[in-house]
Amino acid sequence: MYIYKIFVVGTILLSLYSTYYNRIYKEYILGDNKSLQYELSREIIKKVPLNKKVYIADIGLVPQYYLTNLLPPNLDKFGYSYGLTLNNIEHIKQINDADFVLKFKKEYPNYFKYDQKLIQSKLLENKLIEVNNYVNLYMVKD
């Protein structure tokens, strides 16, 4: 019984530490991510006119909607949807209806409903604009 209590307390303490380190310390204390996001948003604004629709294909780039004041295509139907909320057909529709698509250069593990290779092949049909070492912008429509 005593070992069980130590195990439960240890688990709770490790969970609290993990939450603090990954959510508070990294995000708010180190804060490097915010400066990188602001830098990225300045580069995007230089390359995309304000009246154009931008579809952000990766969840890690979603803050750029708010930092750049750009809107996604089909806002009335899909809102700011991305990642787990869209299937292959919806992703392709968003890409086709967008003026620009923003996506990480690196492919991440496929935890989305959509087929990353299908989406990448669709994007490669469009003009590539390099934003920085980590992010690409694809011009779908002129």
What average pLDDT is seen over the chain?
Answer: 80
Per the DSSP assignment, residues forming a β-bridge with 71 are: 53
Q: What is the percent of the chain where pLDDT is above 70? A: 82
Q: What is the percent of the chain where pLDDT is above 90? A: 14
Considering the entire predicted model, what is its pTM?
A: 0.69
The label of the residue with tokens 């204390």 reads 29
CA–CA separation, 26 vs 44, rounded Å?
Answer: 25
Dihedral sign from CA coordinates of 117, 119, 121, 124: negative
DSSP 59: G
* pLDDT exceeds 60 at position 120: yes
Answer yes or no: are the C-beta atoms of 111 and 119 closer than 8 Å.
no
Give the rounded distance of the alpha carbon of 108 from its chain centre: 11
* pLDDT exceeds 80 at position 109: no
Q: Which amino acid is at 138?
A: Y
Structure tokens at 86: 């869209």
Comparing CA positions, the residue from 137, 135, 95 lying closest to residue 114 is 95
* pLDDT exceeds 70 at position 69: yes
Comparing 53-57, 90-94, 95-99, 116-120, the range with the smallest average pLDDT is 116-120
Answer yes or no: are the C-beta atoms of 56 and 72 closer than 8 Å.
yes
